[in-house]
Amino acid sequence: MEKQAVDGARRAFNSGRSRPLQYRKQQLSALLRLIRERQAEIVSALKRDISRSEFDTPIFELIGIENDIKLAERNLADWMAPQPVKKTLLTITDDVYIKAEPLGVVLIIGAWNYPWSLTLRPLVGAIAAGNAAVVKPSEVSKSSASLLKELLPQYLDTEMYPVVTGGVPETQELLKQRFDHIFYTGNSTVGKLVMEAAARHLAPVTLELGGKSPCYIDKDCDIAVACRRITWGKFANCGQTCIAPDYILCHPNIQHRVIEEIRQTLLEFYGEDPKTSPDYGRIINQHHFDRLLALIEGCTVAVGGESDKSQCYITPTILKDVLPHARIMQEEIFGPVLPIVTAGDVNEVIRFINERPKPLALYVFSSNKKVVRRMLNETTSGGVLVNDVMVHYTINALPFGGVGNSGVGRYHGKHTFDQLSHHRACLIKSLAMERLNMARYPPMTPSRLRTSMFFLRSRSGSCDQALRAWAVVSSLLRYSDIIVICFG
């Protein structure tokens, strides 16, 4: 089944029908219709998978897909057009440009926490770039995977964009096949296996992983506003977001204030009993429920801590005075549990962050420009936000991706198109002007070396300056050569 899907996609790609602009725009338009026409079914599937609010799905999943599609539809002709590059004396009369070409057949392995956005946004880029794509939704979000398998063939070219469902065995079988690019969203453990499988075919990869995204609250900021924004980002989707604030770093003197502000915000957002709030979700399954409770063990609970295994429910939980070596600080939490680690000053905060794997996101709350500048200049992360959380994901002009352990590559908007394209270097020369080439042919002499170096040496300045230099060179040529250069 898996091999048949890959072979069929490759035959479809080799037919050449995905290359024309009109085909790509037609497929993108069909994908947009799917999102708009079947929104109610998508919302219902996510309600069954993760108990997500009907209001959250359009905001957190569907609008991003729509925006990427509409951006591609408006700009695809320009993205596909040859991009001229700066000419040199050697290429002054040539055509020199970069052309974005399809890679071939792309494997897209989606994630369960945002199963539509994290699967279809890469697909938008694959379609825009002219690739075929085998789509593998996560089996963990069962209702969404089943619905995607049902709907996608109703709207897209079934040979070019097959959907393969199933669990680990099906994914492993897919990874044995040859792809021209693999796009995986998930955890770093599986990411390494994907990269290993891709290496057997020398296939490039995009790995959208995760990790522990720190959130630093400086004493010099509006703590109430900071805690409101952090609370929203942490507990949306029940904390199951790869760029959710994973833990808070703050000075010991403001820890109590931070806890109280978050407590009040939780009351405002979800009421006295979050379990009854339509805006508060559930953990995806029993395995992750048990994992999260194990992480909390041995920590001091400041807020929350209650759970109900029958519903995979864990109340929004704040942990205080968490030590750096605690178990919860050794892995990505991916749930509604927020540890607070205290640190003395910004030097200690920067050192703490830099001693750990590079995060997917870094959040800094401060009104002190010097502190902000230091955090930007002295740390590394996939993305950084100052005085907010997660909203960089909504801006498709920004590249979204990790660095080091948090990921490889980037996407969103044109960045996905670029990531899933081969940027081919093109130089179109004439067979005329052969006298200029004599300097590079044997037998070499000092005179020929000087001539070669004159043409090869990099020069700063405008094209006009290059043309003036060319005028000097042309004066050394025979009149017949100039006629050929100027008039072909």
Largest CA distance in the chain: 90
Q: Per the residue annotation, which of 242, 250, 299, 312 is the catalytic one?
A: 242
How buried is 196 (Cβ within 10 angstroms: 0-12 exposed, 13-18 middle, 19+ buried)? exposed
Q: Per the residue annotation, which of 61, 208, 261, 332 is the catalytic one?
A: 208
Angle between helices 369-378 and 346-354 (to 10 degrees): 20
How buried is 447 (Cβ within 10 angstroms: 0-12 exposed, 13-18 middle, 19+ buried)? exposed
Which DSSP category does 403 fall into?
Answer: -
Residues 6+ apart with CB under 8 A from 420: 103, 106, 122, 125, 126, 129, 131, 181, 183, 206
CA–CA distances in Å: residue 98 to residues 81, 105, 383:
9, 21, 28
Structure-block tokens of residue 191: 């990411």
Please state, in angstroms and rounded to a whole number, the distance separating the CA atoms of residues 328 and 338: 10
- The 10 Å Cβ neighbour count of residue 437 is 12
Residues 6+ apart with CB under 8 A from 214: 245, 246, 247, 249, 352, 353, 359, 362, 363
Where on the phi/psi map is residue 333: left (φ > 0), alpha (ψ -120 to 50), or beta? alpha
Instruction: Assess whether 208 carries a catalytic annotation.
Output: yes
Instruction: Assess whether 227 carries a catalytic annotation.
Output: no
Coil, strand or helix at 341: strand
Length of the chain: 488
Please state, in angstroms and rounded to a whole number, the distance separating the CA atoms of residues 102 and 129: 5
Active site members: 208, 242
